Amino acid sequence: MPATLTSAVLVYDGECEFCKACVGFLARRTTRPLVSVAYQHANLETLGLTRAECEEAVQWVDVAGEAASAHVAVARALRNARKPWPLVGRLILLPGVRPIAAMVYRRVAARRRCAAPTPPVG
């Protein structure tokens, strides 16, 4: 069971330049401070997430501890941005759009350019 959060958290791949650029884009467009953390530096247990989930897709954990993944996480994060981005977030979740958004997310995620993993220390 995840701990109680005081704000939602966006958990992303901190070794992926594309992911970091997307988080920066969103951070510049939020109406409230965006709480984001690379999963490599996050206390995943506290957030109720696993490393495998975070390696697979971006995660959004709301204050109730409910997690959303991939395109749904993106949609929920966009709903916290200033106009017109909340509308985009709502559109992504519409029944006719949701499967298309899932497909687009999977294709982009499969082609993203990530930096080489940091070698273990020691």
Residue with tokens 């709480």: 35
What gap in Å lies between CA 103 and CA 21, rounded to an integer? 21
Question: pTM, whole model, 2 decimals?
Answer: 0.85
Number of helices followed by number of strands (H, E) in the chain: 6, 4
DSSP-derived secondary structure letter, 28 = T
Question: C-alpha 63: how far from its chain's center?
Answer: 15
| pLDDT tens digits, one per residue of 15-61 | 998 999 999 999 999 877 789 999 999 999 999 999 999 999 999 99
